[in-house]
Amino acid sequence: MKSFNSVTWIVTTALAASLAAGCDQKTPAESAASDTRRMDQKIDQATADMKQQAGKIGEAVADSTITAKVKTAIVSEPGLHAAQINVDTAGGVVTLTGSVDTPQKVERATQVAQAVTGVKSVENRLDVKSSG
C-alpha cells in the first residue's frame, strides 16, 4: 500500500508539473499579438531612424546652400577675393579660412558672411598676409 501511495504521489506530481508547464505556453492568438507588437516596435524604430537621417540630409543641404550664398556674397564684395577665402558650413556655423591683405578685409569677410540668411555664427580663421 505504501508503494502504491508513492507511485500515486509521483504520478500526481508529474501531472501537476506538466499542467503547470503547459500554462506558460501562449495560445496562437497571444503569440501573434506578441509578434505584432514586436514588429510595430521595429517599424517605429525604423521610422524614427529614417526621420533622423532625413534631418541630417536636410541640414547638409541647408549647409551647402549657406556655403554657396556666402561664397557668392564674398565674390560680389569689392576688395574681397573669393580665391583667397575658403568657406565651410556645419550646422549653420560658417568657417572662413585662408589669407587676405588687411585686417579690415578679415572684418569685412565676417560681416558679409553674417549677413547671409541662415548663418547662425561665423568663425573667422582668416590670416592677414605679411607684406614681406
6 within a domain of the structure (yes/no): no
The residue that leads in pLDDT, 22 or 75, is: 75
Q: Does the residue 72 lie in any domain?
A: yes
Q: Is the pLDDT of residue 101 over 80?
A: yes
Task: Specify the pLDDT at position 104.
Answer: 94
**pLDDT attached to residue 11:** 64
The model's pTM? 0.58
- What is the distance between the alpha carbons of residues 111 and 93, in angstroms, rounded to a whole number? 14
Sheet strand arrangement including 85-90:
85-90, 93-100, 121-128
Domain assignment present for 29 = no
Quick one: which of 83, 105, 110 has its CA closest to 95?
110
**Which pLDDT score is estimated for 41?**
84
Whether 7 maps to a domain, the answer reads no
Domain at 103, CATH number: 3.30.1340.30
Q: How many CB atoms lie within 10 A of CB 96?
A: 21
Closest residue by Cα to residue 98 from 86, 81, 110, 106 = 86
Q: Say yes or no to pLDDT of 27 above 80.
A: no
Q: What is the pLDDT of residues 37-95, one digit of tens each?
A: 888 788 778 777 777 776 676 666 688 999 999 999 999 999 888 788 999 999 999 99
pLDDT at 20 over 90: no
The domain tally of the chain equals 1
Average confidence (pLDDT) over 113-128? 94
112 belongs to a structural domain: yes
The mean pLDDT of 85-114, rounded to a whole number, is 94
Is residue 69 situated within a structural domain? yes
The range of the structural domain enclosing residue 111 comes to: 41-132
